[in-house]
Structure 1
Amino acid sequence: MIAITGATGQLGRLVIDHLLNRLRPDQVVALVRDPVKATDLAGLGITVRQADYDDPATLEAALSGVEKLLLISSNEVGKRLSQHRNVIDAAKAAGVKFLTYTSVLHADRSLLGLADEHRQTEDYLSASGLPFALLRNGWYTENYTASIPSALAHGALVGGAGSGRISSAARADYAEAAAVVLASPVEPGQIFELAGDEAYTLAGLAAELSRQSGKEIPYRDLPEADYREFLLKAGLPEHFAALLADSDAAASRGALFDDDRQLGTLLGRPTTPLSESVRLALGSI
């Protein structure tokens, strides 16, 4: 059996969709904090088990009989390491044979502030003795296309990434890659540095948005502190505004760029182009 943590999250659900193209539903276990939110998964024949990153007592029981586990990183920045440790400890105690973790691109040398907890999780996993693989995911294109409605409303795409090149891919690309790794034999210790085939700047994203929307949308670049203030004024929580501003500042120094094309190779197809992600984002407005 293969279990997925955070199975009702945006990435987790997509991973399960792709796994069902490769495995029977009874081979998949959805680990969720609230089983009520996973009734549709249960209806597909998937085993749904309650598992809370913060409650170790739920984790070992939820992992009983599981051979492979995908640990999707928690979205609670600042609490991730302790939560991930709980899952890794429970997996070891439950006899899980292989654990795959969704880390961040070039975690070992990343300039991203959010990479710290990923590095610490990788170190803890390595020291645990569990056979593992790392999916070091690059940026989701959706992280930027989510700002398209605001850019259209205000007549400019605002960011802080300067001329940094961003090798993002669609969330669905990373989900399919996870399913490929989970459903295939993988050598323990293997690290996949995953990023989009094409790289773009935020000025390039603004140009593509202008082309598809028919409106002139320039890119307005701000220093990190000013971009953080802009996000706060837009209503984002303090911690999230700081994270986004830090991430763009790191992107300006190359933190989100990669040209190895490991993701496309793993998928056996090109990653989703920026133009398609922009088209889908515009179509959802």
Structure 2
Amino acid sequence: MIIVTGATGTLNGATVVDLLRRVPAAEVGVSVRNPDRARHLAARGVRVRQGSYDDPAALRHSFADADQVLLVSSSDLTADILTQHRTAIDAAVDAGARRILYTSSHRAGYDTPYPALAIHAATEAYLAASGVAWTALRNGFYGDLDAMLGPWQSSGVIAKPADGPFAWIDRRDAGQAAAAILTGDTQFDGPVELTPATPVTLDDFASAASELTGRSIERVVVDDEQWIAEELANGTPEAAARLTLSMLQATRTGYFAHVDPLLAQLLGREPRNVADQLSDHIAR
């Protein structure tokens, strides 16, 4: 059985949808914090059990009979995320999983210009020491486009600090790639990089937005500390604002410019590009 955590979210929710195209529903289970939100999966024959990274016993129950477990990285910024990840890995090992997969991040490492990557690196190290086969899905950047680009649809500008090239993917593509790895004949051991064929910049987002809307969407570079001050004035916690800034600063060094063809190979097509994602976003 394949057990997927975070299945009510966009990323691993996409994985489950694609898994159900590839294997019988009886071979898929989900571990979710709120089973009520997974009723649509239960209706399709998926096994739904309650599980939380803060509750080892519940996790072990939700992972029972697992051959493979896909762990989504924690998004709880108030928690000890690394401890949560270790709890989930231990539960998967105790449940007898043959392989553990983890949604890591592109260019994960300790000595990096983007501090958030250290948590992924530490989780990968714990996986490597678990004694179980493991795969780290090092996804390119993804997320809420409004948060990434700001209120460009009303302002006509993408006003952010200076950036450089970075790998931006659609979570649906990342989810589909995970399903392909979970059900494929090839065993992917250790880290795998899942990125688009070419990196992008915020200038690329502005160009795509201009073409899609028929308006001139301008990319405006804002001084780092000026941007921080504006974010704080808009109610963004300083830690969150500085984390975003550190990501943009890292792109300037070319740290996230590396790309890999594996994502397209797994999808059997080119990943959704910036224009595709913006078009979908505008249509919502």
Query: Same-fold call, TM > 0.5?
Result: yes
Structure 1 residue 100: Cα displacement = 0.7
Structure 1 residue 116: Cα displacement = 1.0
**Cα distance change, pair 261–228 in 1 and its aligned pair in 2 (3 A):** farther
Residue of structure 1 in register with 2:107 after alignment: 106
Letter of the 1:275 counterpart: A
Structure 1 residue 147: Cα displacement = 4.9
For structure 1, which segment, 24-33 or 73-82, has the greater mean C-alpha deviation from structure 2 after superposition? Answer: 73-82
Kept in 1: contact 2:30–2:62 (CA 8 A):
no
Q: How does 1:181-200 map to 2 (within 5 A)?
A: 181-187=181-187, 189-200=189-200
Structure 2 residue matching 1:36: 3-state secondary structure:
helix
Kept in 1: contact 2:10–2:172 (CA 8 A):
no
Structure 1 residue 128: Cα displacement = 1.1
Q: Quick check: 1:47 aligned with 2:71?
A: no
Letter of the 1:135 counterpart: L
For structure 1, which segment, 171-180 or 184-193, has the greater mean C-alpha deviation from structure 2 after superposition? Answer: 184-193
Q: How does 1:1-285 map to 2 (within 5 A)?
A: 1-77=1-77, 79-108=80-109, 110-140=112-142, 142-144=143-145, 147=148, 150-162=151-163, 164-187=164-187, 189-284=189-284
Query: What stretches of structure 2 of length at least 5 have no aligned partner?
Result: none
Kept in 1: contact 2:82–2:119 (CA 8 A):
yes
Kept in 2: contact 1:73–1:101 (CA 8 A):
yes
Structure 2 residue matching 1:95: 3-state secondary structure:
coil
Distance in 2 between residues matched to 1:228 and 1:265, nearest whole Å: 39
Structure 1 residue 220: Cα displacement = 1.5
Distance in 1 between residues matched to 2:225 and 2:115, nearest whole Å: 15
Kept in 2: contact 1:155–1:218 (CA 8 A):
yes
Please give the root-mean-square deviation of Cα atoms over the aligned residues, in Å: 1.8
Query: Can you list the C-alpha shifts for 1:151-180, whole angstroms capped at 9, x where unaligned?
Result: 121221022243x11221211110110000
Structure 1 residue 188: Cα displacement = 5.9
Query: What stretches of structure 1 of length at least 5 have no aligned partner?
Result: none
TM-score by length of 1: 0.92
Distance in 2 between residues matched to 1:212 and 1:259, nearest whole Å: 26
Structure 2 residue matching 1:103: 3-state secondary structure:
strand
Kept in 2: contact 1:161–1:250 (CA 8 A):
no
